[in-house]
Amino acid sequence: LEGVEGINALVVQKDPTRTVNPIVVHNLKTRIQTRQKEIEKAKAEAARVRANGDDRMNLGKYRLQVLSQRADRMREEIKGLVQMLDKELNGSGN
């Protein structure tokens, strides 16, 4: 996913006549974007750790592990949020 465009490409309202709560849709998209930004921050921090050569020390290795776990957790949360967005847009039957 890349920003709102990626979300819109992934989750499409199949029935345009279906009534949806625009606030819920907006909030879900915002939560997805926030988690995407957290993943990018984790990637940038990991790159800094590697660039400084800190990844050769125990603390640096641990930092990389924590950053990887954080990014993985954010990806899992994004999957759940995308499912919630799809449910809001298309109902539970889809």
pTM of the model: 0.81
Q: Quickly state the pLDDT bin for 3 (edges 50, 70, 90).
A: low
pLDDT in tens, 9-44: 678 888 889 899 999 999 999 999 999 999 999 999
Residue 28's nearest CA partner among 57, 1, 67 is 1
Degrees, nearest 5: CA angle 15-20-23: 145
Coil, helix or strand at residue 57: coil
pLDDT in tens, 64-93: 999 999 999 999 999 999 999 999 999 875
* CB contact at 8 A, 75 and 38: no
Q: What's the burial of 16, exposed, middle or buried (CB within 10 Å: 0-12/13-18/19+)? A: exposed
